[in-house]
Every structure is written in C-alpha cells, then in structure tokens.
Amino acid sequence: MIPELSGSLRKNQIIIPSIINEASGVRINGKLIKSLLFSTDVAVIRNTNADAVIAVYPFSPQPVITEALRIAADVPLFVGVGGGTTAGLRVVNLALHAEFQGVMGVVLNAPIKNEVLARVAETIDIPIVITVVSENEDIEARLRHGASILNVSAAKNTPDVVRKIRERFPDVPIFATGGPTDETIAETIAAGANAITYTPPASKDIFKGLMNKYREELNR
C-alpha cells in the first residue's frame, strides 16, 4: 500500500479515474505519463493529480497563453500550437517558442499539412503530438513526416480507431480520449492506448456543488 499525504486545503482536487492507472503509459525524458488532463483552466490545472496536462483551445495559439499555462501547471505540459486555422510558418514559430518556454511537447491539430509537420519536426527537439480524428487518416504519412505521438480523439469511435492503429503500428505511442465512464476508459486502454486524456468537470459545476453544500450547512 502506498502512503498518501495531502494538505487540508488541497483535498478538493480533480482526481483522475483510477482505472487510467491500468494503462502502460508513455515514458518521455524519463517521466512516465499515463493520464493527461485536458484543460486550459489554470485553476483546474493547478488542482489535479494527473501526470500531465494537454491544453488545446479554439483560438489562434499565443505565447502569452502558453506561458500562463506553464506557470500554472506543476506537471508536464503539452500545448496546442495550431495546424487548423493557424497554419504554415506561424505554426513552426509557435512550436519553437513553446519549446523555449519549457513545455514537454506540442500538439498539432488534425488538418495540418504534412509539409508543415515536417518543418516543425526539423525545428524542435521535443515530442510532436498529432491529433487523429478518423480511421481514414494516413497515419503512416504522419509518422514519416515527424509525428512522435498520436492523439486519438474520435468521439465514440475512439476505441475502434485506436485498435486499428495499434494493429498496424504496434510500437507507436498513443494518447486517446477515454470517454465518460470507467468502462469506456477500460475499453480504450484495451484497444491499445498508452495514456488517456481526461476532460474534467467545468469549474462552474464544481463550484455549484460547493455552493449547494454551503447552503445546506447554513440551513441546518
């Protein structure tokens, strides 16, 4: 049994589902990563037991946002640097800047062209995580052009996509969304995912629970 310690003020944390510990993990620069918190909320990022944070957001990436996330995270950070709306040389520059800021890896969106992926791979010396949203993507080309890790995010089809990738590429590191339950997470791990990305409850929902608790205590 592993002894467990926590401060009285940090007990109210985002606890990653324990089933994720069944994953094999991906070892990066000596650190084993099995769970990744999918969030850009700095308060949530600061209060989790996840092994790492993966931060991708629906706006053009900005170094100031990366820096805020890096300061908030006390675990390794993987940050989005474009590939969709943000394209071309800007992606390469953002990836290099993110490396200089100290992130563990960069995340590229599914639409990125392989030529840009190759330029990023030539420029930086940290892992490149490429997002995969469909089984129809050319995984071999992604790997050939420099992708280090596949991040499968195919909604309910994620386990099937992971399984098909694993059959063809038995050694490629795979992150994957685990879904909302222990059962869906277990299925994704069984399909071949090495690490699971977990989407936490929104801050407003967590705070709503706290406020309800306070009201109940005051109304006793």
- The pTM for the full model equals 0.92
The 3-class SS string of 58-86 reads CCCCCHHHHHHHHHHCCCCEEEECCCCCC
Q: Contact at 8 Å (CB) between 73 and 44?
A: no
Domains, the chain, with CATH or none: 18-218 (3.20.20.60)
Q: How do residues 96-116 score in pLDDT, each as one tens digit?
A: 999 999 999 999 999 999 999
Q: How far is CA 144 from CA 54, 138, 148, in A?
A: 23, 10, 10
User: What confidence score (pLDDT) does residue 9 get?
Assistant: 66
Q: How do residues 114-147 score in pLDDT, each as one tens digit?
A: 999 999 999 999 999 999 999 999 999 999 999 9
Buried b (16+ CB within 10 A) or exposed e, 149-163: bbbbbbeeebbebbb
Tokens of 130: 């490429």
Nearest to 132 by CA among 104, 98, 105, 160: 160
Euclidean distance between CA atoms 156 and 177, whole angstroms: 9
Q: How do residues 171-218 score in pLDDT, each as one tens digit?
A: 999 999 999 999 999 999 999 999 999 999 887 777 777 788 778 777
Nearest to 107 by CA among 132, 138, 128: 128
Euclidean distance between CA atoms 136 and 77, whole angstroms: 29
User: What confidence score (pLDDT) does residue 168 get?
Assistant: 97
% of the chain at pLDDT higher than 90: 83
Q: How do residues 32-69 score in pLDDT, each as one tens digit?
A: 999 999 999 999 999 999 999 999 999 999 999 999 99
Other beta carbons within 10 angstroms of residue 114's beta carbon come to 15
Q: How far is CA 64 from CA 52, 67, 70, 77, in A?
A: 20, 5, 10, 14
